[in-house]
Structure 1
Amino acid sequence: MPRDFRRRPLPAWLAHPLRWQRLPVPWAAVARGALAAGPLLGVGIGTGHPAAGVLAALGAMLAGVNDRPGTRRNGIVHIGLPALAGTAGVLLGGTAATVAAGWWAIPVIFVVGLVSGAVSVVGPVCSTAGMQLLVAVIIGMGMPLPGPAWFKALCFLGGAGWLLLLRLVLRPPGTLDGGRATLATVFDALADALAAVGTPGAVPARRRLTAALDRAEEAMRLHRLFRRLLTPGDRLLIERYAAATALCEAAVALLWEARPLPPRVSDGPRRLATAIRTHSPAGPLPAPGASTAARAAFDRALLDAAVVFARTTPEHSAADLPSAPARSRVRWRVLGAAGREYALRVALCVAASASVALALRANHWYWLPATAAFLVKPDMGPLFSRVVNRFVGTAVGVLVFAGLAAAFGGGWWPAVAAAAGGALVPVATRHFALQTAVVTVLVLSFVSVGGDTQAAGNRLADTVIACGIVLLIGHLPRLVDPAARAGLRVGTALRCTERYLDHILTVSASERSGERMALRRAAYRALAEARATADTAAAELGRTVDWVPVVAAAERIVDAATACAVRIEHGAPRPSEREAREVTGVLTALAATLDGTGGPTVQEFITAPECETLADVVAELRRIRAAAA
């Protein structure tokens, strides 16, 4: 075999989710997983109510999948909202099973699939909630467990609530509060970005900084939702977050200038990160060395941050803090092209899977549509590789469960297996196939306690059928178009970019700085979503458009716009009204072209802008226009 052939990497459509994510082991989540599903299943076995134990353990398992690092308030939202959706799904499914059994389940599942898919485009938490709603309806209708629907729903909610209680109560000694840890990560990422200024690693460092700011913004947003309950420490943390956003804006301008900085410049953010982690003073910060507008802005923001960190009590009361930024255009997302496309795809996949399952085995049909519901989610990677990972993981899980059943027979071993699987769930999230294998062992343990002792072989066959159905429907022409989804996300990001740039060019730099920061964060957040969608679309089979360069150009536009804001704030002349109108008009037209909503035709630029940053914006717009053509 030739050497160059051996070195050839796997194709993107196969390798995308096979990448192992190197993350620290969340030992606290491992402990919570071990104390959740297994003990609940054991209680059900010991008290003679296995059905209650199965549903409670199932609720705890799904809550454990959502048990991610973050603040306690994050945990309440990320675990609690999907748990409520799953509870409603069990109640709806159990009720529907009593009045619309058999083939009547298909229209019910189709309608719920439409709702689940449409809601899933709003954001990650809503995506998880929509998924749990759909899966819970399928389980409530198909899993043969005794008891009324309200009792099943309460058991499911109790299991999820038990894990959430463990999340809120059990905290390892010496663990840093989630909000402080998230903010400290922002300053670490800021220091890394400053160290990378003027090097090839500047762009990846800026993206890591943006991702850290996104996580911190989510944590602070949840803090502001409970403004009346904030402690002085919470309010001080929000003020330090505001100082971090100002520093990050200046850092983006430094990255745009691309002039290497002295190593001492990155020492300031690292000292601030240490101060957050240790509750200690920040100590001496680097002396200013203003040589450019961006450096002057950074030095001033660092001085302001030093003043904030020197305080031990917050300057503002809870009533004076800004309210949580609203997530606008939610209705537009749900009812827009992306929501309709995803809703129809989910509904068709689960309805077709349910039809095949009812034709094959009417008593245990729930596994096939539930598998299709998980497979159809695009945020787990490209479709073909999702299918490969799902099949491999299910096969491994079935073999492990069969080995355990042969070795131990009956008794309490399913509860022990559920406890071990619950402990492995937080670690298994690093790899889709591994997560599938762990969840397969868990679910087979549940259904064996519920009385289905011959489930393993049938479940593997059901998985193969579900994979085939999702592959078929997922590649139907005029129904599923990854490029269209990516174009919609890129168009949305360009609209956010246009609003940010328009604010910079039309509003005085000293006015409404808080609104400018919010618009900048909205633009970067939309670009992060667009990049994730573009990466997935680039790895799909039969892709026709490469959206990754378009997203990269849009990111550079926001970087240049940030540098423009900093330069204007420090005395640079403001671009003319004609130039501002021309540039923002082209952005709007490009967004309409990419997301297919229609709008003005993209026109040529009449003259080159005199502003250096605006000239960079125009250059990137020309690149985007060439790609769109």
Structure 2
Amino acid sequence: MPRRAPLASLAPPPWLVRSLRPQPAPVPWAAATRAAVAMSLPLAVGTAAGHPAYGALAGMGALSGVIGDTADAYRMRVLNIAVPQLFGAVGVTLGSLVHGHGWTAVAAVTLVALVSGMMSTIGAVASVSGLLLLLNAVIGAGLPLPGAWWLAPVLMTGGGLLVLALALLAWPLRSGVPERTAVATAYRNVAALLEAAGTAHARQDAYDEARATVTASLNKAYDLVLARRARDRGRSPDLVRLIAELNAITPVVEAAPAAHRYGERLPPELPRAARRLADAIARGPAPHPGNLGLPGEVPDDDGAAARAVYQALRHADDTLADPDPLTAVPADDRLGRPAALRVRARRATRNVMLSGASWRYGLRLALCIGIAQALVSLVDVPRSYWVALTVTFVLKPDFGSVFSRAVLRALGTAAGLVVAAAVLPAADRGWWDVPVVLVLATLIPALTPRGYGYQTAAITPVILLLSDVLNHQGFGLVLPRLLDSLIGCAIALVAGYLLWPESWHTRIGHRLADAVADTAEYVECAFGAPGGEPDPAARARMRRRLYRDLSDIRTEFQRALSEPPPMGARAAAWWPLVVAVERIVDATTAARVRVRHGAPAPEGAEAGEVVRQLRELADGLREVEVLVPVPVEFTGPEDSVLEPLRQEVAAARAIASPRG
């Protein structure tokens, strides 16, 4: 009698389980309310005026605004919503002009896809703008729109700007609140890091998780403060105080690796003081009483890390209590000059036409859109524009793994169609649509942070209902929508994924090699490059950039791990080395803290030896086959402050070395 296959063999593969697992996130009630009002109000007005199709078009524009409503700072919301709406208006205009023109429409939409793909490599706002440019061009070319040629872009843009207007209602009352909240959150996360680092026998995984959370919160705080400073004229006292608080948190973050590395238990008063500072920062520019609950002086039995944290928190407290921070904080701070953002944006825009990466992605997207448009021109596919729409949403590598997005798109669409089948009866549309859209729209911001599949499941019934207001097909839209999505996913997988080896061969080794090379520069900077003692501010900026790069590599790993073999397996094999590089940076920072608080400084030859080993590791990671010889032989004394760093470098080289 044949044996039955074990039930474990029927379980979904790990990469799919990781993709389907919902991400923990709070419900954004304000965004959900804005989505409900912005998408249902135009439909209600259009229905009352006897033109529900016009309301549906404005609702579609509001949907794109809801998807782009992801920024915390009000100034960034203007960019994230308003700029893409302008490109969306251009897209729907171009699409409507070539609607019904056969192969001319195919060529025009394919050209738009090329431009959209190249735009997506410039930055986040440009990526969303390129996405909306192509989406609306596809809609205009594939769907007969009511009214004159200019009416659809006006209505859709108006719907998106309604979302922006609702998002900016509280700006006069909450100006600066997102920035203060981000800095306060960074302090709270640093308090948790101090607790993880200062606990006896602290687990390495708990410390690594706390450090990753601190890095993410600091990245967000830096981005918000930099964006606001780049647009503010003059020097705002509140903004300067936030800059000073971010500067003051640097030595606190640097002391945590020292406490963790050397098993130094931090007094519980220090994390509590950091939380009190976070509460004071969140309250705003009101006078701060300066009561942190810290002793007047550092106890003699505390170690170097505790002394560093104590001094940094005292400095942060003094800065927050200073009634005139403009006279206390230098103009050139550790965040970098604001003009750097504008120069970087101009350089990216100027170089996009010369970038091989932008051309490759643009050609990939244009190829897939061209195939989709040609297919629906040759084959009678109902509601054919859904095929190209699916390709556009799926083929966005900067939004995540193309393969997993295709799978999640199909699954999310199927789940959304179950809901759509209940709200798309064969009866004529009317006022019933308004409360249905009101309820369904709230699910889009609520489910979007959970994952791409959940976002798709929330968007599908809304967009189908709005489309039905234009076409009056009722339940007949459901099955064609599923078929079109499956066709679009297949095109994206074959023409946009499998035919491009760079999409399924992990490039994480090159990213890691760059991080290792930067780590070598950081070691050199931390222990004195030729020419004298390094600038502390320059060292702090270098460390921040390193942790930001490593955070980006972690994000890349999350995308790669959701791919099927071999890419997912290769990414998993690289993961221990990513952790090892992070620990090298931590060990460097810890050694620097100990030197600053009395430990003997290492000889220049010792630091040079570590730098040489790291650069050799970086060169080996850039090879097609990793060539990093082991074992590593260091000649410095075992009691040197660099000994833990040398151990981490040796461990990293052992991980990266080829197996026998």
Assess same fold via TM > 0.5.
yes
- 1:234 to 2:239 alignment: yes
Hey, what does 1:157 align to over in structure 2? Answer: 157
- 1:372 to 2:391 alignment: yes
Shift in Å at residue 362 of structure 1?
7.0
Q: Tell me, in whole angstroms, the C-alpha distance in 1 between the residues paired with 2:356 and 2:194.
A: 40
Q: Tell me, in whole angstroms, the C-alpha distance in 1 between the residues paired with 2:319 and 2:524.
A: 30
Which of 492, 506, 519 is residue 484 of structure 1 equivalent to? 506
Q: Deviations over 1:330-365 (max 9, x none)?
A: 578996665455444333333222222222337842
Q: Tell me, in whole angstroms, the C-alpha distance in 2 between the residues paired with 1:588 and 1:386.
A: 36
Q: Tell me, in whole angstroms, the C-alpha distance in 2 between the residues paired with 1:172 and 1:24.
A: 25
Hey, what does 2:59 align to over in structure 1? Answer: 57
- 1:569 to 2:596 alignment: yes
Hey, what does 1:402 align to over in structure 2? Answer: 421
- 1:281 to 2:281 alignment: no
Hey, what does 1:305 align to over in structure 2? Answer: 316
- Change over 3 Å in CA distance of 1:54–1:517 after alignment to 2: farther
Which of 9, 13, 16 is residue 14 of structure 1 equivalent to? 16
Hey, what does 1:518 align to over in structure 2? Answer: 541
Hey, what does 1:553 align to over in structure 2? Answer: 580
Shift in Å at residue 57 of structure 1?
1.8
Q: Tell me, in whole angstroms, the C-alpha distance in 2 between the residues paired with 1:587 and 1:194.
A: 28
Shift in Å at residue 263 of structure 1?
2.3
Shift in Å at residue 203 of structure 1?
0.8
Confirm or deny: 8 A CA contact 2:587 2:644 kept in the other structure: yes
1:222-301 aligned at under 5 Å gives the runs 222-228=227-233, 231-279=236-284, 280-287=288-295, 288-289=298-299, 291-301=302-312
Confirm or deny: 8 A CA contact 2:19 2:562 kept in the other structure: no
Shift in Å at residue 509 of structure 1?
9.1
Which of 473, 483, 493 is residue 461 of structure 1 equivalent to? 483
Shift in Å at residue 35 of structure 1?
1.2
- Change over 3 Å in CA distance of 1:567–1:105 after alignment to 2: farther
Shift in Å at residue 628 of structure 1?
10
Hey, what does 1:42 align to over in structure 2? Answer: 44
Q: Tell me, in whole angstroms, the C-alpha distance in 1 between the residues paired with 2:327 and 2:149.
A: 49
Q: Which amino acid aligns with 1:311?
A: D
- 1:199 to 2:202 alignment: yes
Confirm or deny: 8 A CA contact 1:185 1:212 kept in the other structure: yes
Shift in Å at residue 163 of structure 1?
0.8
- Change over 3 Å in CA distance of 1:318–1:415 after alignment to 2: farther
Confirm or deny: 8 A CA contact 1:16 1:385 kept in the other structure: no
- Change over 3 Å in CA distance of 1:363–1:209 after alignment to 2: same
Q: Tell me, in whole angstroms, the C-alpha distance in 1 between the residues paired with 2:583 and 2:628.
A: 20
Confirm or deny: 8 A CA contact 2:290 2:318 kept in the other structure: no
Confirm or deny: 8 A CA contact 2:225 2:239 kept in the other structure: no
Computing the radius of gyration from Cα coordinates, the structure with the larger value is: 2
Q: Which amino acid aligns with 1:455?
A: L
Confirm or deny: 8 A CA contact 2:56 2:470 kept in the other structure: yes
- Change over 3 Å in CA distance of 1:193–1:43 after alignment to 2: same
Q: Deviations over 1:282-308 (max 9, x none)?
A: 513433347443333222211211211
- Change over 3 Å in CA distance of 1:628–1:585 after alignment to 2: farther
Confirm or deny: 8 A CA contact 1:13 1:382 kept in the other structure: no
Confirm or deny: 8 A CA contact 1:57 1:159 kept in the other structure: yes
- Change over 3 Å in CA distance of 1:53–1:245 after alignment to 2: farther
Confirm or deny: 8 A CA contact 2:498 2:504 kept in the other structure: no
Q: Deviations over 1:439-485 (max 9, x none)?
A: 11121122122225243321111011112222323552553434433
Count of residues in Structure 1 that have an aligned counterpart in Structure 2: 626
Moved more, 563-572 or 385-394: 563-572
Q: Tell me, in whole angstroms, the C-alpha distance in 2 between the residues paired with 1:123 and 1:246.
A: 31
Match of 1:29, SS state, is helix
Confirm or deny: 8 A CA contact 1:122 1:334 kept in the other structure: no
Match of 1:70, SS state, is coil
Confirm or deny: 8 A CA contact 1:289 1:299 kept in the other structure: no
Q: Tell me, in whole angstroms, the C-alpha distance in 1 between the residues paired with 2:354 and 2:592.
A: 35
Q: Deviations over 1:111-154 (max 9, x none)?
A: 44344344435554443333223222322322221455554333
- Change over 3 Å in CA distance of 1:422–1:489 after alignment to 2: farther
RMSD: 3.7
Confirm or deny: 8 A CA contact 2:96 2:141 kept in the other structure: yes
Moved more, 395-404 or 23-32: 395-404
- Change over 3 Å in CA distance of 1:419–1:321 after alignment to 2: farther
Moved more, 148-157 or 557-566: 148-157
- Change over 3 Å in CA distance of 1:372–1:627 after alignment to 2: farther
Hey, what does 1:612 align to over in structure 2? Answer: 643
Hey, what does 1:326 align to over in structure 2? Answer: 340
Hey, what does 1:141 align to over in structure 2? Answer: 141
Q: Which amino acid aligns with 1:435?
A: Q
Hey, what does 1:357 align to over in structure 2? Answer: 376
Q: Tell me, in whole angstroms, the C-alpha distance in 1 between the residues paired with 2:650 and 2:340.
A: 32
- Identity, % of aligned positions: 33
Shift in Å at residue 583 of structure 1?
4.1
- Change over 3 Å in CA distance of 1:121–1:24 after alignment to 2: same
Q: Deviations over 1:303-322 (max 9, x none)?
A: 21121122244234999254
Shift in Å at residue 378 of structure 1?
3.9
Confirm or deny: 8 A CA contact 1:252 1:559 kept in the other structure: yes
Q: Tell me, in whole angstroms, the C-alpha distance in 2 between the residues paired with 1:9 and 1:253.
A: 44
Shift in Å at residue 194 of structure 1?
0.9
Q: Deviations over 1:52-106 (max 9, x none)?
A: 43333222112212323622223223333433443343344345x26x9322334
1:59-74 aligned at under 5 Å gives the runs 59-68=61-70, 70-74=72-76
Moved more, 421-430 or 511-520: 511-520
1:381-530 aligned at under 5 Å gives the runs 382-406=401-425, 409-429=428-448, 430-451=450-471, 453=473, 454-473=476-495, 475-476=497-498, 478-507=500-529, 511-530=534-553
Match of 1:541, SS state, is coil
Hey, what does 1:184 align to over in structure 2? Answer: 184
Unaligned runs of 5+ in 2: none
Q: Tell me, in whole angstroms, the C-alpha distance in 2 between the residues paired with 1:357 and 1:586.
A: 57
Q: Deviations over 1:572-616 (max 9, x none)?
A: 455555554554455455445546799x98677663455225414
Unaligned runs of 5+ in 1: none
Confirm or deny: 8 A CA contact 1:398 1:441 kept in the other structure: yes
Moved more, 435-444 or 557-566: 557-566
Shift in Å at residue 33 of structure 1?
0.8
Q: Tell me, in whole angstroms, the C-alpha distance in 1 between the residues paired with 2:375 and 2:260.
A: 56
Q: Which amino acid aligns with 2:646?
A: A
Provide TM-score, normalisation by structure 2. Answer: 0.84
Q: Tell me, in whole angstroms, the C-alpha distance in 2 between the residues paired with 1:407 and 1:106.
A: 32
Q: Tell me, in whole angstroms, the C-alpha distance in 2 between the residues paired with 1:316 and 1:5.
A: 69
- Change over 3 Å in CA distance of 1:319–1:209 after alignment to 2: closer
- Change over 3 Å in CA distance of 1:159–1:448 after alignment to 2: same
Match of 2:506, SS state, is helix
Q: Tell me, in whole angstroms, the C-alpha distance in 1 between the residues paired with 2:122 and 2:582.
A: 22
Q: Tell me, in whole angstroms, the C-alpha distance in 2 between the residues paired with 1:337 and 1:260.
A: 51
Match of 1:348, SS state, is helix
Hey, what does 2:169 align to over in structure 1? Answer: 169
Q: Which amino acid aligns with 1:536?
A: R
Confirm or deny: 8 A CA contact 2:184 2:282 kept in the other structure: yes
Moved more, 531-540 or 502-511: 502-511
Q: Tell me, in whole angstroms, the C-alpha distance in 1 between the residues paired with 2:329 and 2:600.
A: 38
- Change over 3 Å in CA distance of 1:268–1:462 after alignment to 2: same
Q: Deviations over 1:485-522 (max 9, x none)?
A: 33343344334434433432445897533332222222
Confirm or deny: 8 A CA contact 1:206 1:252 kept in the other structure: no
Q: Tell me, in whole angstroms, the C-alpha distance in 2 between the residues paired with 1:39 and 1:372.
A: 30
Match of 2:425, SS state, is helix
Q: Tell me, in whole angstroms, the C-alpha distance in 2 between the residues paired with 1:37 and 1:564.
A: 56
Q: Tell me, in whole angstroms, the C-alpha distance in 2 between the residues paired with 1:415 and 1:305.
A: 52
Moved more, 344-353 or 434-443: 344-353
- Change over 3 Å in CA distance of 1:351–1:464 after alignment to 2: same
